[in-house]
Structure 1
Amino acid sequence: MPALTGELGTLRSAISLAKNGKGTEAMAAASSLDDPVARNLVTWLVIRSAPNDLGFERIAQFLKEKPYWPTQSTLRRKAEAVLYAEKPSAATVRAFFGDQAPLTGPGKIALARVLSASGDRATVAALVRDAYRTDDLSESSEGAILSEFGPLITRADHKARADKFSYKPDPERAMRAAQRAGSDVVALTRARLAIEKQDPNGASLLAQVPMTLSNDPAYLFAKSMVSRRAGRNEEAAQALLAAPDSAEAQVDTDEWWIERRLVSRELLDQGNARLAYKVAADAASPTANNYRAEQAFTAGWIALRFLNEPRLAAQHFARIDHQQDHPITLSRAAYWQGRAAQAMGDTGTARGRYEAAARYSTTFYGQAARARLGLPQVALRREPEPSSQAKANFDRIEVVRALKLLYAVGDRDTPITIYYDMAWRMEDTTHLVLLAQLAQANGDARGALVVGKEGLAEGHPLDHAAFPTFGLPSYTPIGNPVDKAMIYAVARQESQFNPRTLSSAKAMGLMQVTPAAGREVAKQTGAPYNEARLMSDQSYNVQFGAAELGELVENYSGNPLLVFAAYNAGRGSVRKWFARYGDPRDKDVDPIDWVECIPYSETRNYVQRVMENYLVYRQRFGIATPMPVAAR
């Protein structure tokens, strides 16, 4: 522990001031600290929360001297905002950016100002237009850009900005840009915003959009939404297929993929698999890695399981692992490549692909592949034991010392931000193991989980760290018994062991218990219900979450896939899915397909993640009963 024992109170106060946006006061308090690590920690926090109080020069100095401190991208973004506001010399601006491109709208404009003075009109125009089209500029920043660089910004730029913030949606930004673009864009934007918030007038507003925009991608996107919600899915598909597939035309290819996914699945449910496939397969490539993988998977899955075209399916599945490196994605790709090869009668290739998936035994599809191969479904790797020299070197890392200071003052939130960044950037397995051990030594299940998950994602053997067996309090069971593995599996996904988690749907605490579920548990068990305690009392929260799981276990004869689906989406949804897709407990229903048929993207992912958690935790807690998830 750094020699700060007598100064922890001062550090605690400085951290609190920094987190509350009082940067000047925080820095004043930190100035009396003897430990330079403590002072750097406060400076780092002030840059993140109150950068204007520090000023550009001091922020730039910190970035130069401390390039290994976490969240460098965030720090640079903060620096760019202050740079824009302070308008330092051209030499200062050029020196700050060097050969690095600006990350923010204010940064782009700050650089454009300097380049404009030197006559680089082409670069200036590119920077200004990019900032205006894509960045979350405030109203005052928009006005400043238009005042300073107005002639460079075209109607097309205003239209693109209106489109971007109609996808998000951000009504104020969208309408400001639309009004600058013209009355036709105003009509389209107003209709789109109404449709996004499911205003009943949305369809009629769309009908009032001038015909000159009837082939505009934004119009076609809105038309698809209206048609889909009205159950006219073929019409929605035609609108999507009529749009150009370039990223520039669509503005937000991720949102376009989400809409295509919804339409494709509606078409599947209606029995129109051929059109469902086309809607999925012809999508412009999304920007986000997970959406790109999902798009390739969806097209391949439909081709294999609904069109019986395994060769076509294999081509789509092969695209997934060419662009991804996450174990969850790689195992899914390999498993379905195996299924496609098996459908073509190529048993050798099928086995090879199942073996590739089986390497990832902490993932849903890795476990499914292992079941097909007759292997134990989970094979956890042991972390290497760091040497005493490695431990000494690790303890000398400045940010590690900062983590220890945070724990010493009782801050258990800031370490999570640091763990995410360090675990993502660290390449040495031993350092990752030591980082996880630091979290474990401080009883920080959230921190251990973050380090473990990031380590697994980068290929490191942090299987045990990624599935902490601590972090939940003891509780008195009420209702039907539930095994410990199931409770940990759910908590790991629901809250990541953060007892203060509160969702937009008012799901609360470690087990994300909703008020409705809490009242139902109280009714069924006779336990007293107190909504406030679901947040304030961790044991009470786990008690009620476990009781809800117990009811579902009894209701679904212990089938974990159904238990987890109902815990996330409700029993009513599961009943609907029985009617549409059958009961995965029946021998003629493939449980893997049943999960992939779930129409809610969140629930599909949830069931897979909690199921993989469950099998790992069964092993970690010594519950040996096999839980097969392989297709029958």
Structure 2
Amino acid sequence: MHTRKKTTKRLKVLSLGVVVITACLLNAAVYAAGIAPIPARKPAAFRADPLALLRFPALNQTDEPAAALMASPAIPAPVIPGHKPPVPQALTHADGRETMDATASLQTIPIPARKPEASGLNPTLQMAATQDITAESASGGDNFRLTLPETAPATLTAAPSLEGLNKIYKSKLKRAPSQRDSVARLVNIVKQDVSSGSPTRALKRLSSDKAVPYLDPVEKDQMQTLIARGYLLAGKVVQAYELAAESAARSGKYIPQAGWVAGLAAWRMGNYEDAARLFANSANSSYSSSWQASASSYWASRSYMRARKPQEVSLWLKQAAQYPRTFYGLIATRSLGWDYDFNWDTPALTAAHKKILEDHSITREALTLVKNGDYTAAENALAKIDTSKDPALAEALLAYAAQKNLPALGMKLAQAYGHPKGGYYDSALYPLLPWKLKDGYTVDRALVHAIIRQESKFNPGAVSRSGAQGLMQVMPSTASYISGKSQFKNKESHASLRHPQTNLEIGQRYIEKLLYQDHVDAELFSLVVAYNAGPGNLKKWKRELADMQSDPLLFIESIPMGETRAYVERVMSNYWIYRLRMNQPVPSLDAVAEGEWAQYVPIDGIKQAGLPSLSDLRLADAR
């Protein structure tokens, strides 16, 4: 396996007083930074779990019941031998009041033992990495060491979710069907109030609605955190802070989002030490996803730098860097000067694999489709095979997908099955397009791949509920606008947009057009926002959040649309990882790690007038 080689030349935090920045998160996260729209659930499942609508997709919640919530003195930095956590201090408010740190009553939570997917390492490597970080922290050394296991399984092992969704909170309260319906109704109404920009109305409901007695304390704090997020996005920072910090104090162990929202509010209020401890609480919660944990850890590092506590900065950067496939994990790793440990190997297709495939009826038919050149039909058929109880078949399919360039199938399998020696088959998680463009690329290959991975997961036949088509999820109206051909507006012509080459040509031309609009100006964060939410929303948000132009990561975290916040993080993570896979430098990652916007620097395709090239920039080492 690959190991991290640590260098020291980029770790200037102690002398420069600057720290890396980050951003956003999740349809659920999904994602580390926000409340994304919640997908519809089956009625029975929803009735059993009405609070599901409140889940922040990128956050973690769990099946663990809410035990008695015990308050303890303070929220610590990572629990590391020989390292003394900060002591809560009085906070001075804008009106001159002094109060104790709002996190003082939060439970002290040690860094949980993460699953291997968090850093892409198997348990032995994960333990070695943790031990080395501990040794460095205690001794002040700067050598990062990993030890490979002596033996490894012979076949694929089940890979834990890349989202790191370890736990989901469920109440132990027994509710009658009518009570569950009342709770579901309240959740829906509160969510609608927050989405429509009325958090105050939602807060009133939370105190007076007839369903409130049917909520346990943690569930009520989940809803209060959602309302706090609404206040934060509406620019009512003090209200957001008060509600989220209160929820974090009561239920922070189970709701990492509470510490996250309160931390962002404290940051915007200039209470950086308070923000650091709130972010630390969120990062340390065992209910945090890998995206949430890396985001909170990174922002804890930023906050400690602003609070003039540089001794904490590198500790929290190292914590964020445990998740190298996340947005903030990538930035933290770059800031520390560490190498990335991605595994670009693919399993070789052996005679034993071929026999397994030939003995299976569906794969046998798919092999015939491939021989006839119908790769899409073959890939669709193979993707329907249940390999959950047959890792040998999964390994054979993964090897076959790699050899025949079936990216959607390979990506699906690599998300479910890890490398026999631990970690992932990153080459399958981040596959390359098998289709060729007639006139080649006019924008970077890595950028096209990054968008496709998020939009369609390399399925050329993908169609969204809104009508977006194909690999790059191009809307028919956009295709007509870009191509100048009205035929794409006709429903009968939509199928042509699912032709890979057609979709790629129109998609990259749309990227080119967006890149040079005034409000994008060849900046990648802005480009990705415009691609997802439209140029009009980008223009509006840049106007409304003009005071955040000096802090790109705070700008991203303050975008009102949760889906877009998560989309930016995912696509940018994909982009940087694809650049690394293609052995290309990552100047935009360097820029973000230094607190700057992610300026687009073309490597592939045709250089456009006014854009810098690699030779125009002073790049850090490409590693």
Q: Which amino acid aligns with 2:300?
A: Q
Q: Is the 8 Å Cα contact of residues 454 and 571 (structure 2) preserved in structure 1?
A: yes
What is the CA–CA distance in structure 2 between the aligned matches of 1:602 and 1:579, rounded to whole Å? 20
Is residue 2:501 matched to residue 1:506? no
1:503 Cα shift?
A: 0.9
Superposed counterparts of 1:59-74, under 5 Å:
none
Q: Which amino acid aligns with 1:620?
A: R
TM-score, normalised by the number of residues in structure 1: 0.55
Q: Which amino acid aligns with 1:408?
A: L
Residues 444 and 260 from structure 1, CA distance in 2 versus in 1: closer, same or farther, beyond 3 angstroms?
farther
1:546 Cα shift?
A: 0.8
Is residue 2:266 matched to residue 1:352? no
Superposed counterparts of 1:415-434, under 5 Å:
415-418=382-385, 421=388
Choose 497-506 or 244-253, whichever is displaced more. Answer: 244-253
Helix, strand or coil at the partner of 2:463: coil
Query: What per-residue deviation string (whole Å, max 9, x for no partner) do you get for residues 508-546 of structure 1?
Result: 1100001222122124xx797464244442211111111
Is residue 2:324 matched to residue 1:361? yes
Q: Which amino acid aligns with 1:440?
A: A
Superposed counterparts of 1:415-564, under 5 Å:
415-418=382-385, 421=388, 436-454=398-416, 460-476=423-439, 481-523=442-484, 529=488, 531-555=493-517, 556-564=520-528
Is residue 2:520 matched to residue 1:580? no
What is the CA–CA distance in structure 1 between the aligned matches of 2:411 and 2:46, rounded to whole Å? 39
Aligned residues: 414
Residues 274 and 591 from structure 1, CA distance in 2 versus in 1: closer, same or farther, beyond 3 angstroms?
same
Query: What per-residue deviation string (whole Å, max 9, x for no partner) do you get for residues 26-61 of structure 1?
Result: xxxxxxxxxxxxxxxxxxxxxxxxxxxxxxxxxxxx
Match of 1:188 in 2: none
TM-score, normalised by the number of residues in structure 2: 0.56
Q: Is the 8 Å Cα contact of residues 282 and 288 (structure 2) preserved in structure 1?
A: no
Specify every segment of 5 or more residues in structure 1 that has no aligned partner in the other structure, as ranges: 1-103, 106-129, 137-154, 168-191, 193-217
Q: Is the 8 Å Cα contact of residues 245 and 283 (structure 1) preserved in structure 2?
A: no
Match of 2:236 in 1: 272
Q: Which amino acid aligns with 2:363?
A: K
Residues 134 and 547 from structure 1, CA distance in 2 versus in 1: closer, same or farther, beyond 3 angstroms?
same
Match of 2:176 in 1: 157
Is residue 2:571 matched to residue 1:613? no
What is the CA–CA distance in structure 2 between the aligned matches of 1:384 and 1:351, rounded to whole Å? 34
What is the CA–CA distance in structure 2 between the aligned matches of 1:541 and 1:251, rounded to whole Å? 50
Q: Is the 8 Å Cα contact of residues 363 and 382 (structure 2) preserved in structure 1?
A: no
Q: Is the 8 Å Cα contact of residues 576 and 586 (structure 2) preserved in structure 1?
A: no
Match of 2:201 in 1: 235
Query: What per-residue deviation string (whole Å, max 9, x for no partner) do you get for residues 100-119 of structure 1?
Result: xxxx99xxxxxxxxxxxxxx
Aligned alpha-carbon RMSD (Å): 4.5
Greater RCO (Cα-Cα under 8 Å, separation 6 or more): 2
Q: Is the 8 Å Cα contact of residues 272 and 304 (structure 2) preserved in structure 1?
A: no
1:483 Cα shift?
A: 1.1
Q: Which amino acid aligns with 1:268?
A: L
Match of 1:332 in 2: 295
Q: Is the 8 Å Cα contact of residues 508 and 534 (structure 1) preserved in structure 2?
A: no
Superposed counterparts of 1:275-294, under 5 Å:
275-282=239-246, 292-294=255-257
What is the CA–CA distance in structure 1 between the aligned matches of 2:460 and 2:398, rounded to whole Å? 20
Q: Which amino acid aligns with 2:382?
A: P
Is residue 2:534 matched to residue 1:570? yes
What is the CA–CA distance in structure 2 between the aligned matches of 1:243 and 1:557, rounded to whole Å? 48
Q: Is the 8 Å Cα contact of residues 433 and 462 (structure 1) preserved in structure 2?
A: no
Q: Which amino acid aligns with 1:163?
A: S
Helix, strand or coil at the partner of 1:380: coil
Helix, strand or coil at the partner of 1:622: coil
Query: What per-residue deviation string (whole Å, max 9, x for no partner) do you get for residues 348-383 of structure 1?
Result: 32112212323433321112213433456x553344
Residues 402 and 394 from structure 1, CA distance in 2 versus in 1: closer, same or farther, beyond 3 angstroms?
same
Identical residues among aligned pairs (%) = 24
Specify every segment of 5 or more residues in structure 2 that has no aligned partner in the other structure, as ranges: 1-41, 51-173, 370-377, 597-623
1:599 Cα shift?
A: 1.0
1:260 Cα shift?
A: 5.2
Match of 1:311 in 2: 274
Q: Is the 8 Å Cα contact of residues 299 and 313 (structure 1) preserved in structure 2?
A: no
1:566 Cα shift?
A: 0.4
What is the CA–CA distance in structure 1 between the aligned matches of 2:449 and 2:380, rounded to whole Å? 21
What is the CA–CA distance in structure 2 between the aligned matches of 1:350 and 1:382, rounded to whole Å? 31
What is the CA–CA distance in structure 2 between the aligned matches of 1:247 and 1:396, rounded to whole Å? 61
Query: What per-residue deviation string (whole Å, max 9, x for no partner) do you get for residues 574-623 of structure 1?
Result: 11111122287x5xx21111111111111111000000111111222333
Choose 551-560 or 269-278, whichever is displaced more. Answer: 269-278
Helix, strand or coil at the partner of 1:532: helix
Match of 1:29 in 2: none
Residues 338 and 252 from structure 1, CA distance in 2 versus in 1: closer, same or farther, beyond 3 angstroms?
closer
1:132 Cα shift?
A: 11
Residues 316 and 560 from structure 1, CA distance in 2 versus in 1: closer, same or farther, beyond 3 angstroms?
closer
Q: Is the 8 Å Cα contact of residues 358 and 364 (structure 2) preserved in structure 1?
A: no
What is the CA–CA distance in structure 1 between the aligned matches of 2:438 and 2:250, rounded to whole Å? 45
1:401 Cα shift?
A: 4.8
What is the CA–CA distance in structure 2 between the aligned matches of 1:315 and 1:402, rounded to whole Å? 55
What is the CA–CA distance in structure 2 between the aligned matches of 1:615 and 1:371, rounded to whole Å? 11
1:473 Cα shift?
A: 4.4
Structure whose alpha-carbon radius of gyration is higher: 1
Match of 1:412 in 2: 379
1:461 Cα shift?
A: 3.6
Match of 1:134 among 21, 30, 48: 48
What is the CA–CA distance in structure 2 between the aligned matches of 1:131 and 1:612, rounded to whole Å? 33
Helix, strand or coil at the partner of 1:464: helix
Helix, strand or coil at the partner of 1:451: helix
1:245 Cα shift?
A: 10
Q: Which amino acid aligns with 2:280?
A: F
Residues 614 and 228 from structure 1, CA distance in 2 versus in 1: closer, same or farther, beyond 3 angstroms?
closer
Residues 345 and 162 from structure 1, CA distance in 2 versus in 1: closer, same or farther, beyond 3 angstroms?
same
Q: Is the 8 Å Cα contact of residues 327 and 360 (structure 1) preserved in structure 2?
A: yes
What is the CA–CA distance in structure 1 between the aligned matches of 2:208 and 2:246, rounded to whole Å? 11
Helix, strand or coil at the partner of 2:470: coil
What is the CA–CA distance in structure 1 between the aligned matches of 2:361 and 2:259, rounded to whole Å? 43
